[in-house]
Structure 1
Amino acid sequence: MKSTALAAALAVALVSPAMAQTATPPSAPPVYPPYGRSVTLAEAKIAVAAAQAEAVKNGWFMVITVVEPNGALVVSEKMDGTQYGSNDVARRKAETAANFRRPTLFFQDAVKGGTLNAIFTGALAIEGGELLIVDNRIIGAIGASGGTGAQDGVVARAGAAALAK
């Protein structure tokens, strides 16, 4: 008797549209602009100055690094009092943003959300790497390190905003 009732309930569930569940389609990944020319040294210095001003305003000690679209170093500045380990971290954040055409916060959120393995082909999944976009083209990236991930992100975004056109 139990098996008949179970079979009947299962049959109704399988054919009933009200009972059917539909999978939520995955959200489309964000679309970032294509690569463009390389950031100039003058532009890199403008971005670093704006980022550094934000760090100073907040009392944060940072390393700020700017790279070309291919990840090649343009400029890196270490504020007095910043920990030594931030040199490599700022560079890697900038390289990650440039190489993958998205801010490093994208990878941090993906790891937290369980949609990306924490060890992802060289990407640094920590906030603080931002794209430098001019004329809707990626001309490089900026990385900041020295504070929390959120603080690094604030500083990097300030630098990126100084060039955004």
Structure 2
Amino acid sequence: MEAELTIITSANANEIILRATLRASELGVAACISIVDAGAHLLAFQRMDGASLGPVDVSQRKARTAVLFQMPTGDFGKVIVDHGLTGMELSNGGLAAFHGGLPILDGDIMLGAIGVSGGSAEQDLDIARYALAGR
């Protein structure tokens, strides 16, 4: 029997982005939202009206970090501090060590990740959690 491949489709990614933009609008945040697949490749992206340019890259870094280290980016930041790994966020082409990036899992299977940037770290995390809660 062949194993079934579990992936995030572009339709799934766009649904997640829609939920993220709805929550960001509720919070009054003009956010950038990135979805990457399990290989950390950009699958979908949205820059909301009024979002500045900086969060474009930051949202993608948050999503990539969550996949590469298989943990929320806020937890990754704690690992850096707790283990004296200052500078690690400069590896892998640039990582994000603050809230707003979450893995997208199917049980224990890594499907990809979401990265949100544009508000405070807490707002970005709230938006990402909300977006994934509807899956």
Match of 1:114 among 73, 82, 88: 82
* Correspondent of 1:128 among 80, 92, 100: 100
One-letter amino acid matched to 1:77: Q
**Cα displacement string for residues 30-65 of structure 1 (whole angstroms, at most 9, x for unaligned residues):** xxxxxx633100110111111111111111110000
2:114 is the alignment partner of 1:155 = no
1:41 aligns with 2:10: yes
Query: What is the rounded CA distance, in whole Å, between the counterparts of 1:57 and 1:157 in structure 2?
Result: 14
Please state if 1:78 is matched with 2:57: no
Task: Tell me which stretches of 4 or more aligned residues in structure 1 moved more than 4 Å.
Answer: none
Pairwise CA RMSD of aligned residues?
Answer: 1.5
2:117 aligned with 1:145: yes
1:68 alignment partner AA: D
Deviates more, 1:126-135 or 1:72-81: 126-135
Percent identical among aligned pairs is 31
The higher-RCO structure (CA 8 Å, 6+ apart) is: 2
Larger radius of gyration: 1
Structure 2 letter corresponding to 1:103? P
Per the alignment, residue 23 of structure 1 pairs with none
Which of 17, 22, 25 is the matching residue for 1:53?
A: 22
Greater share of residues in strand:
2
Stretches of structure 1 that go unaligned for 5 or more consecutive residues are 1-35
Matched residues in 1 for 2:36 and 2:13: separation? 8
TM-score by length of 1: 0.71
Which ranges of structure 2 fall in alignment gaps of 5 or more residues? none
Amino acid of the residue matched to residue 118 of structure 2?
A: G
Count of aligned pairs: 127
Task: In structure 1, give the amino acid aligned to 2:111.
Answer: I
The 1-side partners of 2:108 and 2:16 are apart by 17
1:82 CA drift (Å)? 0.6
Kept in 2: contact 1:105–1:129 (CA 8 A): yes
The structural deviation recorded for 1:135 is 4.2
